[in-house]
A and B are shown apart, each in its own frame.
Chain A
Amino acid sequence: MSQVFVITEHINGQFEDITFEMLGKGKEVASSTGGELVAVLMGSGQKDLASQLGVADKVIYADHAELANFNPEAHSKTAAAIVAANSPKLVIAASSSMGMEIAPAISVDCNMSMIAYVSNISADGQTLVSQLYGGKMNVESAVEGNGCVACVLPGAFSGDAGQGGGSPAVEDFTAPDLSGLKIKFKQLIAPDSSGVDITQQGILVSVGRGIQNADNLPMVEELAAKIGGAISCSRPIVDNKWLPKSRQVGKSGLKVKPKFYLALGISGAPEHIEGMKDAELIIAVNSDPNAPIFDYAHYGVVGDLFDIIPELTGKL
């Protein structure tokens, strides 16, 4: 494989963990195919970030005022221009809020295929596994033709292999014309940090859509109080406004690492798993024996949470 490109991601001057996970996997494919690993860095006055991308053989850096903060229009145009100028066979982007705007843009603009939710890439970069159907099915794809953009799931690959290394050459890339953008970045809004910080809790009693409605939350709260933990939840609970955003675990919520995580009526979609898989002890209660959460839990209970919760509260 000629070249493997990795689209790096940073926010507030810091690389996201996924950047190193992508670099680690990219390095593996590049090495086994005798190719070169190229890290793509976009920013404004942020060239020095390249020093953290030592695993790469080369860094391509595009500098532009419009790239100071992530802008879906500016970043996808620039990334597509960089890829088009180099025609790599494999581009690795993140299955993240930023990557989900960049990868399809490259795919269409550079006429490459795209595979989403990638959890594995073969050493030759030609066979990719996607986690589909909420994590209930794996699908293996064979890439044809022009090269492929792989959008990889956070946490799928180890970040260690993407850390350290040498000091790669940094090549400047002149960003394409970004005048007259239709999308303007306004501001970043930090999450509300008042109230309980679930990332600091040793015990989380986490509830998902299985709870059915907000009227059933008090029984979960009672259990959390008995067990000495805080209540957290999956995304639909927040979207329904039953609990505040600060309680959400997962991709767009918080990453937690408690001593004990009790998942009640949570299916275990990849976006949720991303936020809790490193908990020391995970116990899942779900009425569906095939729920993907059981692949990540240490202990599983197939059952009705409306039966288990009162029993558990009673015994504690």
Chain B
Amino acid sequence: MNIIVAIKQVPDLVEGLEIDSSGKDLDREWLKFKLNEFDDHALEEALVLKEETGATVTAIALNADGIDKILFTAAAKGADRIISVTGDFGDVVSSHEAASALASVISQLDHDIVMTGVQAVDDRDGQLAVLLAHHLKMPHVSVVTGVKVNGSSATITKEYGGGMVAEFEAELPVVLGIQAASQTPRYVPVAKVRQIMRSASIEEIAAGGDSAGAGSSVSRFFKPESGGGAQMIEGSAADQAGKIVELLKEKGIK
């Protein structure tokens, strides 16, 4: 069985976000990037399935600054193949563009399950999993929290609101948008990543076909009104705690 996991890096939100001089993008100069947390869950679920079924796991990403580290980390975690899709990608790649570029490469690879994170914090024009599925003309299930492979099919759980879950039986191949892996994504020490960088190599495959645009353009970025609602409580931790207790008394809560 072949599992392909599409992964990407996103800005680390722990950093303050600033708008660049064009007003239409983040100021990328000081941004730190990290693997999209939901892609990390997708990779984890693929690795769990590998352990259960002996599947081959391929991690694939569009080429970008810093992607090599992300791909080598995937290899260090247990991905068998790592692929960087090359092409003329800008700083910002729309989900539609990513879907068509990834589909052009994934369609050439053996695949029983294609997975990616359910969403990413920068998916302005939609989440990748379902876009990718429709480019690949494959069925999809997104917001997935469980995958059990039984021969040529898989039992898949999908989450709704209120803790409600639906169970589906999917004939493979299928595209999945992973919300949460069945276990916390594994951690690999940097030393192991360094080691794998000496033995593993990244395959480069050029994106084919004509890439779709997003069909919309960004007119501006603007910050939500910061502290819009909240009245800030200042002072030392003791002062702040004291004021919270006062407030609770005042409002008859405590």
- Footprint of B on A, CB under 8 Å? 11, 16, 69-73, 76, 96-98, 100-101, 103-105, 107-109, 112-117, 127-128, 130-146, 148-149, 151, 181-192, 203, 227-228, 235, 239-241, 245-246, 248, 251-255, 259-260, 267, 281, 283-284, 288-290, 292, 294-304, 307-308, 311-312, 314-316
Known contacts A73-B139, A114-B131, A137-B224; can you find 16 more A-B pairs with CB under 8 A? A69-B166, A71-B168, A104-B134, A113-B96, A113-B215, A114-B126, A131-B224, A133-B11, A133-B26, A134-B13, A134-B121, A139-B221, A144-B216, A146-B215, A308-B241, A316-B254
A-B contacts, 28 of them at CB < 8 A, read A16-B161, A97-B142, A97-B161, A104-B130, A114-B95, A116-B125, A131-B224, A136-B224, A137-B19, A137-B223, A139-B220, A139-B221, A140-B222, A141-B216, A143-B216, A182-B171, A183-B169, A186-B167, A192-B163, A227-B248, A254-B163, A267-B13, A294-B230, A294-B232, A298-B229, A299-B231, A300-B233, A301-B240
Range for the number of chain B residues in contact with chain A: 35 or more
**Knowing A100-B118, A104-B134, A143-B216 touch, does A72 contact B124 (C-beta < 8 A)?**
no
CB distance from B154 to the nearest CB of A (A): 10
Nearest CB in chain B to that of A251: its residue: B161
- Chain A residues with Cβ below 8 Å from B108 are none
The contact string, 1 if C-beta is below 8 Å from chain A, for chain B 42-54, is 0000000000000
Closest 10 CB pairs of A and B: A113-B215, A191-B163, A311-B241, A300-B230, A108-B134, A104-B130, A307-B237, A114-B126, A186-B167, A297-B230
User: B68 an interface residue at 8 Å Cβ cutoff?
Assistant: no
User: B141 an interface residue at 8 Å Cβ cutoff?
Assistant: yes
**Which secondary structure dominates where chain A touches chain B?**
mixed
**Which secondary structure dominates where chain B touches chain A?**
mixed
Determine the distance from Cα of A301 to Cα of B234 in the docked complex, in whole angstroms: 7
User: B159 an interface residue at 8 Å Cβ cutoff?
Assistant: yes
Whether the Cβ atoms of A295 and B224 lie closer than 8 Å is yes
CB distance from B216 to the nearest CB of A (A): 4
User: B228 an interface residue at 8 Å Cβ cutoff?
Assistant: yes
Determine the distance from Cα of A149 to Cα of B93 in the docked complex, in whole angstroms: 19
User: B162 an interface residue at 8 Å Cβ cutoff?
Assistant: yes
Determine the distance from Cα of A188 to Cα of B157 in the docked complex, in whole angstroms: 9
Determine the distance from Cα of A116 to Cα of B216 in the docked complex, in whole angstroms: 12
**Knowing A69-B166, A132-B122, A254-B163 touch, does A100 contact B216 (C-beta < 8 A)?**
no
Whether the Cβ atoms of A140 and B125 lie closer than 8 Å is no
Determine the distance from Cα of A82 to Cα of B161 in the docked complex, in whole angstroms: 26
CB distance from B30 to the nearest CB of A (A): 14
Determine the distance from Cα of A229 to Cα of B219 in the docked complex, in whole angstroms: 45
Whether the Cβ atoms of B241 and A315 lie closer than 8 Å is yes
**Knowing A96-B161, A137-B223 touch, does A186 contact B168 (C-beta < 8 A)?**
yes
**Knowing A103-B126, A281-B253 touch, does A182 contact B174 (C-beta < 8 A)?**
yes
Determine the distance from Cα of A213 to Cα of B30 in the docked complex, in whole angstroms: 28
Determine the distance from Cα of A240 to Cα of B130 in the docked complex, in whole angstroms: 26
**Knowing A140-B220, A308-B241 touch, does A191 contact B215 (C-beta < 8 A)?**
no
Binds A, one of B75-83, B109-117, B176-184: B176-184
- Contact with A188, one of B41, B131, B166 (Cβ below 8 angstroms): B166
Whether the Cβ atoms of A108 and B131 lie closer than 8 Å is yes
- The residue in B13, B17, B96, B220 that gathers the most chain A C-beta atoms within 10 A of its C-beta is B13
Whether the Cβ atoms of A186 and B163 lie closer than 8 Å is no
